[in-house]
Amino acid sequence: MEYLIGIQGPDYVLVAADTVAATSIIQMKHDHDKMFKMSEKILLLCVGEPGDTVQFAEYIQKNVQLYKMRNGYELSPTAAANFTRRNLADYLRSRTPYHVNLLLAGYDDHEGPALYYMDYLAALAKTPFAAHGYGAFLTLSILDRYYKPGITREEAVDLLKQCLEELKKRFILNLTSFNARFIDKEGIHEVDNIPLAKVES
Amino acid sequence: MALASVLRAELAEFSPNFPKNFPKNFPKNFPEDFPDDSEGIPEILRDPPGPPRVLAAPPWGFEAEPEGPGLQILHGTTTLAFKTPHGVTVAVDSRATAGSYIASQSVRKVLPISGRMLGTMAGGAADCAFWQRLVARQCRVQELRNKEPVSVAAASKLLANLVYQYKGLGLSLGTMLCGWDKRGPGLYYVDSEGQRVAGAAFAVGSGSSYAYGVLDRGLAAAARSEEAACELARRAIAQAAHRDAYSGGCVRVMHVGPDGWREVSHHDIAELQDKYLE
């Protein structure tokens, strides 16, 4: 039902998520933000079971902030991704595993941009592009076909729009609104011209 | 700071590790030495042999609703709330059902949390009443400590974090916290799955989909005045009660404004339906 997508370029990461919060057949909220800001240059996109998503993402968020307070510098995206995966793995075989699927996107001043794919079984993979949800079945092949390593920001936004158009065309659920953000060395920026983004309440 | 100390100090007795309904003679090495007491049961009705299979992950989604003993549950209900520039309008029905039996037509499904905040009740009546009363107590303590009324966001986060600790253990709660704080009108939906969302309009319960239909279509016009908003709320509940067998009784409309909450009206649904559907 929920959809996440990330595309990494040479000096940025573009991430987008749908903004629907639903319970069975009812859409309770159409402008729900599924991106959690870990630090100035790291975003965690989190979908899955209601309750687990917010609780897990806020737990990781507070721990990343605590690291910064204790040590005086921020966790890198790689370290944050591995920390997140470690927590998922530790809770997996407990009485209360977190059923969440994540994309962690960040920009490291030394290593550059990074996109990490994690799922509820605590898998972790650093990939140039990734998607979660039923929509991923329809859009991963588009990313395979049209992605190239030196992809520019305009091309990345076009590729994202192609993926969202494909969902609009072929996905049985009507995901009407998305929000998208860029992460680069200046920080996190909103993307304004995503189609289907304007829905009147 | 104060919020954290409220949680830590007052909740030792409600530790999630030992919920009150945990059976006393629960075997220490579950699932190995689970007692087999099926002697008196005919073969055909017994459980399959071996210890109960324990899943790696607790069931969620539809499987998470356990078929408990005959609790008086209020899934059969319609409650709604929406924000307008004048405040938050809340409307609830008053029917309680146990299966197909109507246990009561006069249940109070709105619980006061503070002078400026209301909580609605859907799901398990006891769950809603108990946990909202607990949150009301914590809100009062926080108000006394901080000398400032507690915000709707904080109260809803308190409730969501409390019920999250019991996730998967059978709590059933679908509540809307409606209030007025320094940011203006506030409306949050919190449920026992752990979901907590803020929004402009919600409907909860078995009749919620019917209520949404009438509510969404009339929301633009309802912002004109408080009377229009209350009439819309009343109409939505009446229409939902017409279609949903598990909603009915009477519709109670409340309003939360900057000066606090008050009950606006109280009508019998059968009389309202005669009036609307003629």
Residues of B that are catalytic: 77
Which residue, A152, A150, A133, is CA-closest to A16?
A: A133
Cβ-nearest to B164 among A28, A55, A93: A55
Distance of CA B96 to the CA centre of its chain: 13
Both tokens of residue B184?
Answer: 């203006």
Does any CB of chain A come closer than 8 Å to the CB of residue B172? no
Give the mean model confidence (pLDDT) for residues B242-270.
94
The alpha carbon of residue A129 is apart from the nearest alpha carbon of chain B, in Å, by 29
- Asked if residue B185 lies in contact with residue B177, where contact means CB atoms within 8 angstroms, the answer is no
Give the mean model confidence (pLDDT) for residues A33-39.
96
Task: For residue B47, give the H/E element and its range.
Answer: none
Cβ-nearest to A55 among B58, B194, B208: B194
Could you give the 3-state DSSP secondary structure of residue B127? helix
> Which ipTM did the prediction report?
0.85
Task: For residue A100, give the H/E element and its range.
Answer: strand A100-108
Query: Which residues on B lie below 8 Å from A28 (Cβ)?
Result: 189, 197, 199, 202
How far apart are alpha carbons B46 and B86 in whole angstroms?
A: 60
The alpha carbon of residue B23 is apart from the nearest alpha carbon of chain A, in Å, by 17
Q: Amino acid identity of A28?
A: M
Give the mean model confidence (pLDDT) for residues A63-73.
95
Residue B10: pLDDT over 90: no
Task: For residue B120, give the H/E element and its range.
Answer: strand B117-120
Task: Give A59's Cβ-side CA count (13 Å radius).
Answer: 17
Residue A124 gets the label, from left (phi > 0), alpha (psi -120 to 50) or beta, of beta
Q: Convert the pLDDT of each residue in B48-79 to its tens digit.
A: 666 555 544 444 444 444 444 444 445 789 99
Cβ-nearest to A50 among B161, B193, B202: B193
Which residue, B132, B162, B186, is CA-closest to B6?
A: B162
Both tokens of residue B202?
Answer: 């919600």
Could you give the 3-state DSSP secondary structure of residue A142? helix
- Asked if residue B105 lies in contact with residue B94, where contact means CB atoms within 8 angstroms, the answer is yes
Q: Flag if A52 and B189 touch (Cβ within 8 Å).
A: no
Does any CB of chain B come closer than 8 Å to the CB of residue A94? no
Interface of A with B in 10-69 (CB under 8 A): 21, 23, 25-26, 28-29, 32, 49-52, 54-55
Cα of first residue to Cα of last residue in chain B, in angstroms, is: 57
Residue B97: per-residue pLDDT: 86
Q: Convert the pLDDT of each residue in A136-172 to its tens digit.
A: 999 999 999 999 999 999 999 999 999 999 999 999 9
Percent of chain B topping pLDDT 90: 60
Q: Flag if A49 and B193 touch (Cβ within 8 Å).
A: yes
Give the mean model confidence (pLDDT) for residues A83-112.
95
Q: Residue B9 — pLDDT band, cuts 50, 70, 90?
A: very low
Size of interface A-B (CB pairs under 8 A): 52
Q: Residue B243 — pLDDT band, cuts 50, 70, 90?
A: very high
More confident residue, B99 or B7: B99
Q: Amino acid identity of B231?
A: E
Residue A101: per-residue pLDDT: 97
Query: Which residues on A lie below 8 Å from B195 (Cβ)?
Result: 21, 23, 50-51
Residue B40: pLDDT over 90: no
A27: which strand partners?
A22
Question: What does A102-117 look like in DSSP terms, one character per residue?
Answer: EEEEEEETTTEEEEEE
Give the mean model confidence (pLDDT) for residues A110-131.
97
Q: Convert the pLDDT of each residue in B173-193 to its tens digit.
A: 999 999 999 999 999 999 999
How far apart are alpha carbons B23 and B16 in whole angstroms?
A: 14
- Asked if residue B249 lies in contact with residue B238, where contact means CB atoms within 8 angstroms, the answer is no
What distances in angstroms separate CA B160 from CA A42, A152, B111, B199, one per listed residue? 26, 42, 16, 16
More confident residue, B48 or B170: B170
CA-based diameter of chain A, in Å? 49
Q: A4-195 adopts what CATH topology? A: Glutamine Phosphoribosylpyrophosphate, subunit 1, domain 1 (3.60.20)
The alpha carbon of residue B39 is apart from the nearest alpha carbon of chain A, in Å, by 31
pTM of the model: 0.79
Task: Give A177's Cβ-side CA count (13 Å radius).
Answer: 17
Cβ-nearest to B197 among A28, A95, A97: A28
* Number of separate helices (H) and strands (E) present in chain A: 4, 12
Residue B238: per-residue pLDDT: 94
Long-range contacts of A167-173 (CB under 8 A, 24+ apart): A167/A3, A167/A135, A167/A138, A167/A139, A168/A195, A168/A196, A170/A138, A171/A134, A171/A135, A171/A138, A173/A1, A173/A134
Q: Convert the pLDDT of each residue in B87-118 to its tens digit.
A: 999 999 999 888 888 888 999 999 999 999 99
How far apart are alpha carbons B38 and B18 in whole angstroms?
A: 27
Residue A57: per-residue pLDDT: 97
Residue B48: per-residue pLDDT: 66
Does any CB of chain A come closer than 8 Å to the CB of residue B58? yes
More confident residue, B194 or B42: B194
Q: Flag if B58 and A96 touch (Cβ within 8 Å).
A: yes
**Domain ranges within chain B, ordered by starting residue:** 73-277
DSSP structural state of residue B54? P
Other CB atoms within 10 A of residue A33 CB? 13
Cβ-nearest to B56 among A49, A55, A93: A93
Residue B11: per-residue pLDDT: 42
Residue B17: pLDDT over 80: no
Q: Flag if B194 and A99 touch (Cβ within 8 Å).
A: no
Q: Flag if A50 and B208 touch (Cβ within 8 Å).
A: no
Q: Flag if B193 and A51 touch (Cβ within 8 Å).
A: yes
Could you give the 3-state DSSP secondary structure of residue A201? coil
Whether CATH 3.90.1150.10 fits B73-277? no
How far apart are alpha carbons B139 and B145 in whole angstroms?
A: 10
Q: Convert the pLDDT of each residue in B126-154 to its tens digit.
A: 888 899 999 999 999 999 999 999 999 99
Could you give the 3-state DSSP secondary structure of residue B228? helix
Both tokens of residue B150?
Answer: 């507690």
Backbone angles phi, psi at A39, to 5 degrees: -155, -170
Q: Residue B2 — pLDDT band, cuts 50, 70, 90?
A: very low
In the block, residue with structure tokens 């959809």: A3
Q: Residue B26 — pLDDT band, cuts 50, 70, 90?
A: low
The alpha-helical segments, DSSP class H, found in chain B are 2-10, 125-146, 152-164, 208-222, 226-243, 269-276
Determine the length of chain A. Answer: 201
